[in-house]
Structure 1
Amino acid sequence: MSRYRSFALYWLLLILGSTPAMAADPFASAGNSSNLLQADQQFLPVEQAYQLSVRLDGGKALLEWNIAPGYYLYKDNFAVQARGMDGVVIPTRIHAGKGREIYDDYYGKNLEVFYDSTLVSVDFLQPPPPAITLSVTSQGCADAGLCYPPHTQYFTADLAAGAVAPTAAPSPAAGTASSVSAGSVTASAPGLLTLLGFAILGGLILNLMPCVFPVLSIKVMSLTTAHAHRHRVATHGLAYGAGVVLSFVAIAVLLLILRRAGEAVGWGFQLQSPGFVTALAYLFFLMALGFGGQLPLLINPGRLGGSAARGNGLGASFLTGVLATVVASPCSAPFMGTALGVALTLPPALTLVVFAALGFGMALPFLVLTALPGLLRRLPRPGPWMETFRQLLAFPLYATVLWLLWVLGRQTDIDRVLAAAFGLLLVALAAWLACRSRHAPGRVVAAALLVAGLGLPLAQPAGAPAERPWEPYSAARLEALRNAGAPVFVNLTADWCITCLANERMALSSELFRTTLKQRGIHYLKGDWTRYDPEITALLSAHGRSGVPLYLYFPPGEPARILPQLLTETIVLSALNAPPGVAPTTGGIR
């Protein structure tokens, strides 16, 4: 019984790890301890980030958003619909002012956006009735990396009295095709069957994704050694299918609970958490090491299906189905998005049915193979090719790790990606050392490396980045500040310069350095020479340098003071606080 209890516990942990309940909540408020989800980076709820007020003025509706610092709204994503109380749509035209043009990573192009606040006017193209309902849709993002889905708010407007009040979203009209209630399931059965068909088809296609295909392949390969136990193979197929289907149902239950609590979650929503993305990258990396044979002690892919050949271990087959669901969490497939998008708007019972159909579609290939002995006979015979094929399957998993690190970089910054990559390197070194060590000291070192590798991403500071104290360097900006008599500190650096990065961490990132800049009114210009910049090259040459780092302090009305290449906080503060006309004693290598 203890073995089956451990199976159940392992299954529960994997399910929780694959769902948004274990992910950071992008919408958690820093002061809201009642939120079900906790985020690596605290983001505001959408209606708090974008506070909308509506008023009537001269036959128009005026929509005014107050936008929280660090958030913006897309100009082209506003939509307004006006309806009379009889449901008739009143045509409208909206007018938005001039926004700020930025390059938007989410859409991959330049777009106009609004920061701080914006006012949008709505014209009614035909005389509206005395009372109308307005639905107002907008979409925005946070500078820190989160993009909200389009958000719609509803208002009732009494044009005669000039009063506007928020209201709940209107329920679908009774008897329409869009209503799905307990009494209308029979009437909408064709639509439900289509939805279930999409879910099954999406689940089938999931098996071809690089994150799922290796796990399924190893499970299928195990059947080639199970010809003597075909009467038990079908049972293992059912256990695997149960693991997949129940995992999808468990995910659906948690999604419904979170949505009932007001969380805007859906399939793949957990990937908006940098912490979850990092954990998933580690899981895929460990699996890839196991498939490649570098981690046989901790992850042996052969065990994913080997129990079927021995005729026992139904729990292992069940856990393989759970694992397949976990590794499918970052993937989506054609037809799947449509099915799940509609499913989450249905009554809970139907939502569970659609998720179960998705799981059934994903388990279907293995169920068919285990149920039809004729297909099993067509599988290749066991041989050395299986080991080669198993190692080959590690490369799609490595590719998935690279993709997850790219996602992490888009969400955070290059420092978090570098920390995760170094952590994975330490894990690989720990695996190599563990395989070669026959004595306790070597294994202790391997365990320490493994702990360090797993903990390295946790050492990165969480939360939104502090406001940067510098502005980009340009010759024109430096000249303008000098002409205005302002003191200027110039830091010429590059991402590939290790000394530069060390100096920034040790001397130019402290609170005391920031405070000194503010108190003395010193402007901080930073020139990034990661890619060639002729203006930075010219400044380097003017001070006899051919490369970075170069640190310059320009007191008002005085020539530049060159600081050492190796900085400490004391050296920098001594230079910034030196009296006019007195060169500080900084020492060091210039």
Structure 2
Amino acid sequence: MMRWLLLALLLVPAFARAAESNRVTSARDTVSLISATKSATGTKLHLGLLFRLKPDWHIYWSDPGDAGEPPALELTAPAGAKAGPFAYPPPHWLVAGSVGDYVETGTVLLPFTATLPSGATAIAAKARWLVCNPKICVPEQGRFNLSLQGGAGPSREAGLFAKARAAMPRPSPFAATIAPGGDLTVTGAGLTRTAVKTAHVFPASPDAIVNAAPQPLHFIRNGFVLDLKPAGSKPMRVLAGILEITDPTGQVQALTIAATPGVAPSTMPTPWIVWIGAALLGGLILNLMPCVFPILAMKALAVARFGHDDKRAARREALGYTAGSVAAMLALGIVLIVLRAGGAALGWGFQFQSPAFIAVMAWIVVAIGLNFAGLYEIPGIAMRNRTTGSFATGVLAVLVATPCTAPFMGGAVAAALAAPIVLALGIFGALGLGIALPFLALALAPALARILPRPGAWMIVLRQFMAFPMFATASWLLWVMTTEAGADGALIVAAGAVLIGFALWLLRFRFLLARGLAVVSVIAAAALLPRIVPADAAARTTLPHSIPYSPGKLASLRAAGKPVFVDITAAWCITCQVNDRIALEPAAIQRDFAARHVTLMVGDWTRRAPAITRYLAAHGRDGVPLYVFYPPDRGKPVILPQILTPSIVRRAIK
């Protein structure tokens, strides 16, 4: 009995023998040549180049996109052996600035079929590939020797081939057409809003489309349309590649498509009145958001002036404030639409991703604070020109108060950026009107105006007191500058504020020399702007025990069934900072995360980050904050409210 058991143990390695070559290993990856069978049967053999890539490193897909090159392999022995093309799994979309690439990450098997002379028992091959991370690319190469004398049957690596086959794109069951302008129309059963969350096309040719451009999704009857941006000036005739469709649970199906010429259909979006109403309501609610606190001083003074007896003047001021809010919102919307049309990965609040914009806003806020403190008078805030001042107040309200999104506002902005230009401008105009609506109502409704206190000496004290919130706002902007341009940027902002303050003080004197020095001082401050240099981009993970957002890391955690809490935030978003302090930073919440093994992932959108912009768009948002919880065991992700409390977070992770 013992002899038979010993014999069985000796035979086990033969039945489980691997069919893998030598491994070529670097600090970035480990690569080998493997076979699906232990020996060659006939003249065809299923082989594969197996990459085990370290975290943050990638190789390139068959179409690498704007940069890089795909792996290449050549069989050097036996004589006459030939290797067929690689079969590639669906790629990942990687965007850096204006460069869009298609890459493979993690453990990647590139299967291919080899044609061998009869009786071959060993294979020799050489391969070359480019392996990259976000900062550097390294060309690599290797020689591989694979023995095929393991007997009949599948090899130990056969499971890798089966897994690779399951992941390969399958032929699309849906009809696909491409319009000359780049509209890809996909129609078929089941392609509804409830079944399709996102979609993306990976072209087989690198010069077919602008690889870095977003691909907005619109639904039509029995399907959807992807707005692709053609790479050249010629109209698109055909398009081949892979279409990835993601459902609301996060499951992805990859389909091979070959779109034929067609005409762009008319989309059937949500009725325009719904988006207009959502925008109006979102703008109204924005008045209650933490982002609006920096301009409460200006609004308080505007409300105080509505208490005087001159109702006609009150209406003029209210209309001026409304006109300023609407005009500023329309201008922001137009700039954002134009930049997005040019391929820029921008979203709501994009202006705060510019250090120069933050510097100018800080100087404006300091100037207003000095005005409130009584250092000087601005035409428009003075009694003689209040309508102009109200218009300027409305403009500033929008510029300072809209880096964050209020409830109902996120969907409206996303709809505006995907809608025809007329509807888009209507949505942005409704947002501006919603911001001004409370003050418009106070001026136009006499019953409401009567509840306000009558003007008096108390307004002077209120105005002086309100200088301090403005100075606090300038301090906040200075902190934001440190996150975007470091200590040097903050010093430049402070120096510019001193120059602006000096110029305003000089306006007290009426002689020509003082006015000339004031102009020189303002010019000197403006000359500082080009000297603001953005600091090296680095993800901020200010929350305890958090990691930076990474699409690859999120995908790997999801694949492993791990729970993940994603916090998309920005330094300039006051709502985000308040939520972090109240609902995510407390030690009790951190203990809850640890007890449930939840990974806290922070996406920093303080500066432009195309990967985060795409993540926002995939969840129907174009601004921060965004909170998404991915339950364990690949459960359906949950989007949390934009205003967080500890109880909301606890309920989500439980």
Superposition TM-score, scaled by structure 1 size: 0.49
Superposition TM-score, scaled by structure 2 size: 0.45
Greater share of helix: 1
Greater share of strand: 2
